[in-house]
Structures are given as structure tokens and as C-alpha cells.
A and B are shown apart, each in its own frame.
Chain A
Amino acid sequence: MNEALVTLVRSLIAFFTLLIFARLLGKQQISQLTFFDYVLGITIGSIAASLSVDLSSRAWPHWIALLTWSGTVLVLQVMSHRSVTANKYLVGEPALIIINGQVMEEAMKRLRYTTADLLEQLRSKNVFDLSQVAFAVLETNGELSVMFKPEYQPLTPKDLNMPGQASALNTQLIFNGHIMEENLRQLNLDHTWLSRQLGLQGIDDVSQVYLASYNPATSSLYVDRFQDQI
């Protein structure tokens, strides 16, 4: 048996299987994972590692394990998505930890959530005085969401009866010296307009630009050149 060759083939199988299954399982970020999701991720990764290097057993049972774990997660995700009750039991519910500056000790006890954890998470949200908090909710992924009392909430343009500025997503027009034609077309812009805009910023050729993005709301073009002038 050529162990290196077998390991190479099995690793490729494990890698691409994991990639496909991970894509199927969605786009949750690490910070959005619940504790169970986190453990699931470790387990699935561990099975993929065994599939890759454990030559003392066949690849097939490991692959079936990978399929079973990923398939089960997928089924539970679909169930949670379709049924509120299922979501409640499978993912859990957010819990109110502070109401009007008062700490809910019973809820904390039930969740085995310590005062130290609460104070630490409050500090990370720039809360150093509990009396400023109207509500604090412990989310299912362990994150703490905080709502300040009205008198401590940040000032917004609306409070001052000022009109807000329209916002829109930036669209990339140039990347790595190449014009992104499709994006340019979607914005109803053309090469002449782009050349003129670049000319205004002292750029005579697209190849000098690393990144250029356009904001339709403000009609502004952000340009970053290869040659940085710091």
C-alpha cells in the first residue's frame, strides 16, 4: 500500500466533501453559532480528519458518518426554519436578563449564566452602569443584546429633526487594474464617464487602480491606487 498516495486521495475526498456539506449547511458566522453548532462543527471536522488519515479503517464508514452528521444538521435546520415550536426546542429562546435596570436572577440561575459573565458582556457593549439599561437579552448564541433607557440612547439626526443622508451599497467598478464591465453596465455608466472621473483624481490609466468603487447615493467614486501615497 502506498500510504502517501492513499492519504492524498482520501484527503481530497474529505476536503471537497466537507466543502460541499459546509456550503449546504449555510453561512452562519462563528459568532452566530450556538454552543451546539460549535460542538457539531468540531465533531464533523474530526470525522473528516479521520476520513483523511485513519488508514486502519475504510474511508466509506467515515464518509457515511460525515453524511449522517451533516444530513441531520440540515434536517434540524429545515425543521427550525419551518416551525417556531421546533426552533424553540432545537435552538432555544432568548432570555431577558435585565429589565429596567433590574437583574433577573432566576433567569440567570436557569441558564447558569454568572454575574461575572453578565458584567463582562455589558462592559464589551460599553455599559458600565446597570441603571442605564432598559433591557438586556441573552441570545441563543450567547451574545448579549442591550437596549439603553431612552435618556441614555445615542442622539440621531431624527431626534434633531434633521434629514438623514440616503445610503446605498458601494459597487466595485475596477479591481486589480481591470474594469468590471457588468457592474458598470448595471449602473448605466460607461468608460467615458469612468475615464473622466479617474482623470479628476489624476489617474490616466485604469491599470494604475487597484480598487475603485462607486456609491450611487452620494455619486462618489472611491479610488485606491497600486502606488500608495502615505
Chain B
Amino acid sequence: MQRVLYYIVVVAILAVFVVIMNAGDYMKKPRTQADNFPLHLQLVTRDIEKGDWELAKENRQRLEGAWKKIMPRIQFSVEKDEMTAIDFNLARLDAYIQARDRSNALAELKEAAEHWRDLNR
């Protein structure tokens, strides 16, 4: 009985490790509107395509807020480099929106979306 319990504990520990290391896909799913990263990506893209730079600025801030909420949840199961890349995308996007540079802003959004997809891959 003690031996069986020993094996159960060992398997349970390994199972917990596997879950922690692979929870990224589940953890990046939005819980509320405020942490919906893909939605805010779409909103900023739409704003820029329409040329509404003021709304794009507001939605970019919401996008950054969503990213800051998600980061602590996914940090144990994703690459640090992918997270850093999204940080840089958001910083550059801010500058392009301020400069009203449509093509570069859209390029940053596209790249951020790609990094988002690659998280936990």
C-alpha cells in the first residue's frame, strides 16, 4: 500500500510539472474583456486602418493593459524572448501611432499577433 502511495505521489508530482510547463495556451485565453489581447489587437488594427489615431492610442493602452495582465499567468510556460518581443512591438507601436505612421504601425501589430500565436509553441 505504501509502495502504491509512493508511486501515486511521484506520478502526481510529474503530472503537476507537465501541467505547469504546458499551461500557456490555457492561461493566455481571456478571462475578461480587459485581458483579451487578440480582441484589442483587432481593435487597434481597425482604428489605424480607419485613420482614427486618437482611438488607436486609447486601444493601444488597453492592449498593453491586457498584455500586463496575461504576462504573470503565462511566464512559467513560454519563452522569455517571445514575451520580450511583444513588449518591444507594443513600445514601437506607441511611437508609430504618435507619429501617425500607418504602415509601420500595422507591421508592428502583425508581428505582435505572430508572437502571440507563437507563445507556448
Contacts and interface: CB of A to CB of B under 8 A. Distances in A.
B48 interface: no
A71 to B, nearest CB: 12
Main SS of the interface on chain B?
helix
B21 A58 contact: yes
B37 to A, nearest CB: 16
B5 interface: no
Nearest to A2: B75
Contact of A17 (B17, B71, B78, B84): B17
A10 B76 CA distance: 8
A9 interface: yes
Contacts of A13: 17, 20-21
A1 interface: yes
B14 A17 contact: yes
17 contacts: A1-B71, A1-B75, A6-B75, A6-B76, A9-B76, A13-B20, A16-B17, A20-B10, A20-B13, A20-B14, A56-B79, A58-B21, A58-B79, A58-B120, A59-B76, A59-B77, A60-B21
A57 interface: yes
A104 interface: no
The 3 closest A-B pairs by CB, nearest first: A55-B80, A60-B21, A59-B21
Interface in A164-188: none
A161 to B, nearest CB: 48
Interface in A42-67: 55-60, 63
A189 B79 CA distance: 61
A1 B21 CA distance: 15
Contacts of A10: 76
A17 B118 CA distance: 26
